[in-house]
Amino acid sequence: MRKRIPAHNLKWTCGWLTIAGLALCWWLPLPLRSAANDSPPGIYGNPEARFTIALYADLECPHCQVYLPQLQRWIVTNDHVNLAWHHLPLPQPEPAASREARLAECVGQFDGREGFWGAVVWVYLHTQGNGRGLAAGTSYPGANPSLQRCLADEQAAHTVAAQQAAALQNGLNATPTLRLIDNHTRHTLILEGPIEPDALLSAVDLLSAPELSEMPADVTGAMPR
């Protein structure tokens, strides 16, 4: 069962073998394009792709932690789709979830897309999950005074809170949730993840179907499961 608002916390059961496996198979080199430097830090894959998967996720969410590397591998092999991170820290794992989201935002400000996604992966590999956050004494590698000033500033906190509020306003209150967007027509589909690769391809095909081209962008809704 996925994390929802409200819901009791799930127990984090992944041991050292799981963490080691994630460390070995997780990180794929970020696919870079000529426009990469102009795209937001939270974009993974081809910034000019027709379709975007907005991933609403929480950095303390065990399901998101397991699903993200699978989704990244799928994005690498489907150049017409990119991935956009959308912060959705849930109440149960706070304040750790928002604190880690601010870290990713600040690293992204300084180091761009590589830094942002590197910080997301680092948090997932080091967090204890379900609101327990990073173990005492665990510090982000390469932390410097500039990063500390960013973490203490309100800008990163405002970005995280704004994304969280936008998601909740649209009725998205579980992680992971995917919002598939056709950047040509602005049609969207809401997919309650994790979603298998075949289902993602079917959703892309559905969203690009000719019969949808004449529909208003706000007509498309949730994909039947």
Phi, psi of 195 (to 5 degrees): -115, 130
What domains can you pick out in the chain, each with its CATH number? 41-134+141-210 (3.40.30.10)
Strands 177-182 and 51-57: antiparallel
* Spans in the chain with pLDDT lower than 70: 1-39, 211-225
Q: Nearest-CA neighbor of 98 among 88, 110, 111, 84?
A: 88
CB 85 within 8 A of CB 42: yes
CB 76 within 8 A of CB 33: no
At 31 the pLDDT is 54
At 155 the pLDDT is 94
At 145 the pLDDT is 95
The per-residue pLDDT for range 98-139, each reduced to its tens digit, is 999 999 999 999 999 999 999 999 999 999 999 999 999 999
Q: What is the spatial distance between Cα 205 and Cα 195, in angstroms, rounded to a whole number?
A: 15
Global pTM? Answer: 0.81
